[in-house]
Amino acid sequence: MNIHVENEILSAYLDHELSAAEADAVQGHASACPSCRAQLESLRQAKLFLARAPRRAMPPELMAEIAKRLSQPAWREALGRLWPRPRVCIPAGAFAAAVLALAWIGLRSETPDQSIPLEPLLAAHCRYTAEALVPASELVASNYSAQLNAYYGDTYDQE
């Protein structure tokens, strides 16, 4: 036979975990296949070696830790490392998402006319046109306001 028996099936055969028909098939194959027979004998020797090994009692702390880890799912343990109190974090996250959504809706409803005041822009434009009329050599003079008053008249300071 060209197909070999898997190690798990050979181990199950040695542990008497196979049905009678499956055990007969493994025994028949192992008698005809030298490779599977050698693997079966190797597993049998390992089983005997482990059976002769000295046994020690498991420490109670280790037994309690194993029982604790087996009783709780792995995702809860991972979640516990990330967030110590998921009962608090989930509502807090939902509240934060609601606040962000309301803020986004509030910002979208704002009209462009309310966001930019035009008065300071118009005042800056008037100032810029007034400064453009003054020659560059006279910009450093200390009587710049007097020069503007002379050009525009006294109404410039009253605005």
Cα–chain center distance at 24: 53
Q: Name the residue among 153, 148, 126, 122 with its Cα closest to residue 135.
A: 148
More confident residue, 138 or 119: 119
> How many CB atoms neighbour CB 26 within 10 A?
19
More confident residue, 65 or 81: 65
Q: Is the pLDDT of residue 48 over 70?
A: yes
Question: Which residue has 């702390």 as its token pair?
Answer: 61
- The answer to whether the beta carbons of residues 31 and 63 sit under 8 Å apart is no
In this structure, of 29-33, 58-62, 128-132, the range with the lowest mean pLDDT score is 128-132
**How far apart, in whole angstroms, are the C-alpha atoms of residue 16 and residue 51?**
16
Q: Which range, 55-69, 106-120, 130-144, has the best average confidence (pLDDT)?
A: 55-69
DSSP 69-97: HHHS-HHHHHHHHH-S-HHHHHHHHHHHH
Question: Which residue has 């050599």 as its token pair?
Answer: 137
